[in-house]
Amino acid sequence: MLPYLDAFVPAFGMLALGAVLKRRLLPDDAVWAGIERLIFWVLLPSLLVAAIGSVRLGEVPIFGMMAAIWTALAIGALASLAISRAFGQSHAAMTSVLMGGIRFNNLIGFAIAGALFGLPGIAFGAVSTGLIVPFVQFVSSAAFASEKGFRPLPVLRGILLNPLILACIVGFAVAGLGGLPSGVKPLMEALGRASVALGLLAVGAALSVEAMADRLPLQLVTAALKLVVVPAMTLVLCVCLGLDGLSTAMAVLFMALPTAATSYVMARAMGGDAPLMAAITSTEHFLAVISLPLWLLVVRMVTGLG
């Protein structure tokens, strides 16, 4: 029980602290916008490069993890579209349901993975991130573009210029070359550690209890898809593919994470249903306090991972 408390209390405690700071000490939205840009463009890419770059690619079942994660994401994306249609939602609302169904807050994942499994957990979590990000970025961008006619080249250009995707590409290249050089590695790791704490505070600042009243039944169905159905499919696929315990645990953990807080920013910038996105984001984060520990217990029972 103590390892779980050490993993989850700091992660969700920083979310709560971020909410308090936003309302009491740092109410200016510009402050949090600057922190979010720093995380997105510098700190989180540094974490991905350092973590993926430390992986021995020959020891990671990348293709098995890819098959499990991409299959579960594809089913989750189709289910999100079906949910939106069943509730009679507009195109803008559909994009928010879709992002609520497949996007993920990897900062919570890294905090928990590092606390429970140390550097190997962070490294395998980074590999999971490297597999999830291109898929969800492509699907999300395509969904926004579909209302005006899908144009693949602009969508692909936007994906390839995404700093997280560039960081994943660089990380895998570094891993193939044997890792980061001396001096650079501790620098990237230090920047990466900063991304987790600042990122969780920024996510907490973006959450809103008031937003959760908007279309609550739709929120709960979307949350059930993201927090229960998608990780369940991932676990079944990982077991069927014979993946080892740590690979399975990190794939399931990162697929069980609530949607990214930046989904709201994306919805607001690209013409999505921003109020619904804010509601889904807040609801999923509150429910994840319960669902994430349960998923790790399930994975432990299934795989025997300590």
Q: What is the mean pLDDT of residues 239-257?
A: 97
pLDDT value of residue 306: 67
Structure tokens at 73: 């994401």
Which residues does 266 contact at the CB level (< 8 Å), separation at least 6?
99, 140, 272, 277
On whether the CB atoms of residues 202 and 32 are closer than 8 A, the answer is: yes
pLDDT value of residue 5: 78
Q: Quote the pTM value.
A: 0.91
HSE-CB for 191 with a 13 A CA cutoff: 19
81-126 residue pLDDT tens: 999 999 999 999 999 999 999 999 999 999 999 999 998 999 999 9
Structure tokens at 119: 């550097």
> Which domains are assigned to the chain?
2-297 (1.20.1530.20)
Considering only residues 71 and 155, tell me which one the structure prediction assigns the higher pLDDT. 71
